[in-house]
Structure 1
Amino acid sequence: MKNVFFVAIAIALFSCKQNQEAEVKTAPSQHSDTAVITSTGDLNVTEEFVEVTFKTEEATQVHRAYLNLKGAFVNTDAEDAASVAKDFSQMLTVVPSADTFSALKSNLDQIATSTNVDKQREVFEDVSKSVEVYLSGQLATGSLIKQYCPMAFEGKGAYWLSDSKEIRNPYYGDKMLKCGVVDKEIE
């Protein structure tokens, strides 16, 4: 009788161990041995990036400023997002086609005057749309990576642009850093 009892316990432990292992397995992009946080604590760092060039210096500056803003949201840093948005907005006032950026500038000003990262992120969605429209017509070489998180804004979903195919979610930051998919490459 004791042997049957020990065999039953061994089978139960083995079965539970098998089930636990199945539950803990993660997708390749989610492996914990992949360092995401750098020594500076920046969650936005990726191992690879997609090179892109633009027809104008203005477009290059807009792209760079946008990526800095996205990075602030990935790091869930409302203060940095406000500062970057303020600089981005000021940069738009001196570019040759400043009048084409009025809606974008207004959105950036909203981010710059807010300290609530959730409210800032809502406006960032509109910033992403404006920047995508502008940069799509300015590509010289390479591509823009358009990514999507289906869970953003209570399941409504939202898009953003990236310079990497690796997901760094600006709508959730460290809560769901790699939640999202590459929607398309804009060439």
Structure 2
Amino acid sequence: MKKFKVVGSLLVLTMILAASCNSKKQEETHQHGMEASEQTPATTESGKALAFKEEKSDKVFHHYLTVKNALVEGDAAAASEGAKKLLAVDGFQGQEAAKKIEAASDIAVQRDAFVALSASVEQLVASQVSSGAVYKQYCPMAFEGKGGYWLSDQEAIRNPYYGDKMLTCGRVDKVMGEL
């Protein structure tokens, strides 16, 4: 009987330690992702500075990351501010999606518009990466199983469609630039 109590106690202790390690790992991933988007220029996990051939691409991608990270955090006001900065970039083709994100105070509406914004930003930056890498990431569960793509300057997944509910749900589908 004592043997079962000891084994049971060890099992509970192991589960608690595993849960706290996973929580710590998610916290570190969360902090790492926020720091990366605030760097100028962004530095990829390989240590190479992310740079673009044209200044416009750099500005658009930087503001896009602001929107993405705000959606990860569930911060509709910050997403709106980031979209407002995108609208100020001359000739940016994703104006319609950026306007929807800026105007919305509902995070779900912003996340819906983010799909189109991601596609517009991808078209702009795909051939513009001169150093570092941009990661095209995908969550198959987004939008009731229809899935959704986004771009990141980090390989680690930080899901803008679910935020902290499913922070690491997704995969890298494509890498643009050099690793």
Q: TM-score range by the shorter chain?
A: 0.7 to 0.9
Mapping 1:134-153, distance limit 5 Å: 134-153=124-143
Cα-to-partner distance string for 1:13-44 (whole Å, 9 max, x where unaligned)? 62585488469747x8x452553555xxx973
For structure 1, which runs of at least 5 residues remain unmatched after alignment?
1-5
Q: Does 1:82 align with 2:80?
A: yes
The equivalent residue for 1:3 is none
Cα drift, residue 156 of structure 1: 1.7
Cα-to-partner distance string for 1:136-167 (whole Å, 9 max, x where unaligned)? 12222222111111221122211111111122
Mapping 1:38-187, distance limit 5 Å: 44-45=34-35, 49-50=43-44, 51-91=49-89, 95=90, 98=91, 101=93, 104-187=94-177
TM-score by length of 1: 0.75
TM-score by length of 2: 0.78
Cα-to-partner distance string for 1:75-114 (whole Å, 9 max, x where unaligned)? 11111111211221122xxx3xx1x61xx10111011111
Task: State how many pairs are aligned.
Answer: 167
Q: Which has the larger radius of gyration?
A: 1
**How has the CA–CA distance of structure 1 residues 46 and 15 changed in structure 2, closer, same or farther, with 3 Å as cutoff?**
farther
8 Å CA contact 1:132–1:161 kept in 2: the answer is yes
Moved over 2 A (4+): 10-13, 15-26, 33-38, 42-49
Identity across the alignment (%):
34
Q: For the residues of structure 1 that align with 2:171 and 2:23, how far apart are their CA atoms?
A: 16
Q: For the residues of structure 2 that align with 1:23 and 1:181, how far apart are their CA atoms?
A: 27
SS at match of 1:184: strand
For structure 2, which runs of at least 5 residues remain unmatched after alignment?
none
8 Å CA contact 2:139–2:171 kept in 1: the answer is yes
Q: Does 1:32 align with 2:24?
A: yes
